[in-house]
Amino acid sequence: MKQRPVSPLFIRAMEEGLAHGRKQDYEGWDNRWKDFDDLKELQRFLFKRLDEEILELDEDQSLLEAADVANIAMMIADVALKIREEEDA
């Protein structure tokens, strides 16, 4: 079965979503880690944000909202890897 590559338009939408947040003075993901003492708490926060973003999906803004969902999913994966690293240490 031939794999379908990730759409450059989708990647651009993810990057534009992040750039939009930065223009609105969002500190960015690298600084977000500092807001939480516990990675499990951060994970719960991200799952809640993911639920909120999924509810915002609509036909008119589907590309941008899907990019938001993907960005949050990436953050969840980052946290899961960090939790695994701490558990294995």
Span 27-55, pLDDT tens digits: 666 666 777 888 888 889 889 988 888 88
Dist. CA 89–CA 72, nearest whole Å: 26
In a domain, 3, yes or no: no
- Domains identified in the chain, total number: 1
In a domain, 38, yes or no: yes
Residues 70-83 have pLDDT tens digits of: 888 888 888 889 88
- Give residue 2's pLDDT: 84
In a domain, 1, yes or no: no
Q: Which residue has the higher pLDDT, 51 or 21?
A: 51
Residue 68, domain extent: 8-88
- Give residue 84's pLDDT: 92
Is the whole model's pTM more than 0.75, yes or no? no
In a domain, 19, yes or no: yes
Alpha helices in the chain (DSSP H): 8-23, 29-32, 39-55, 62-88
In a domain, 37, yes or no: yes
In a domain, 31, yes or no: yes
